[in-house]
Amino acid sequence: MEKNIFKPYLTLVALLILTSLALAFTVDVELSDQAGVVLELPDKLDDWVGNELRFCHNPGCYETNSTGGQYYIRNLELPDICPDCGEDLYKMSWAEYDALPHDTLFVKSAYTNENGGRVFVSIVLSGAERSSIHRPQRCLVGQGQTISGDHVIEVPLAGRKPVRVMVLETEQLAGTAEKRHKYTSYYAYWFVGQDRETPSHLARMFWLGWDRVFRSVAHKWAYIAVSGIREEGNDEYDAEIADFVEKLYPHLLVENDNLRGTP
């Protein structure tokens, strides 16, 4: 274990060097509009049925309605019109729209199956500013979750090497002060550039700098997250994530068969 102590710092130093180089050379960087994934989620995924989310940006809806201005598309008569106020619905919440560059693209869907399974999927695609994707840990803690552990799983895929996925073990206290209960969940994610793929935020930052300097390209990075509930002390959810990602992955592919290293 000891030899790994300096590993994060080495990455950081490499990042700093690359960032300095990137700043010196950004003039010639070509912004690539090509994303590494399709920004669409399938209606059905084997035995899973998807229900996409839409959001109302009218404060009258997201501040006061019990739904928080959030609607499932299968419950809507008109897919892009708010049933409460009649305004347009969007694929990201007002809070996300307000906080992120406005060309950031989202798609979110909740999948359920007949066994009572429920998995929530989201894809975020960065825009021209390339600053739309933050460290997921920061956002989760900001939402009141505690991260009790993390690990990387390898999901086997037909015809290529496995995709590596970061799994965060999350928990949150719910209920009233007298009757609190712990809600345990997982949050799994990986990042995809035009021809890069990694479960690590630091590695993504590294490739962002590397490709700017040595390939003169700034990719649009996508961030794919799969989340659901887990039972404390039971790691069966890893198998659920692997099974779901294996089914989802082929639907996200764009024409690209030369994915580069996954550190």
Which residues of this protein are in contact with Zn ion, per CB under 5 A? 56, 58, 61, 82, 84-85
Structure tokens at 254: 């764009």
Minimal distance in Å, beta carbon 60 to Zn ion? 7
Q: Are strands 217-220 and 30-35 parallel, antiparallel or unpaired?
A: parallel
Of the pair 85, 253, the CB lying nearest Zn ion is at 85
> Is residue 55 a contact partner of residue 89, using CB atoms and an 8 Å limit?
yes
Of the pair 56, 248, the CB lying nearest Zn ion is at 56
Minimal distance in Å, beta carbon 79 to Zn ion? 14
Of the pair 86, 156, the CB lying nearest Zn ion is at 86
> Is residue 217 a contact partner of residue 30, using CB atoms and an 8 Å limit?
yes
Of the pair 62, 249, the CB lying nearest Zn ion is at 62
Q: Closest Cα partner for 242 from 156, 115, 124, 173?
A: 156
Minimal distance in Å, beta carbon 68 to Zn ion? 11
Of the pair 53, 245, the CB lying nearest Zn ion is at 53
Minimal distance in Å, beta carbon 108 to Zn ion? 17
Minimal distance in Å, beta carbon 56 to Zn ion? 3
d(CA 205, CA 194): 14
d(CA 91, CA 94): 10
Helix spans in the chain (H): 7-25, 59-62, 94-99, 136-142, 201-214, 237-252
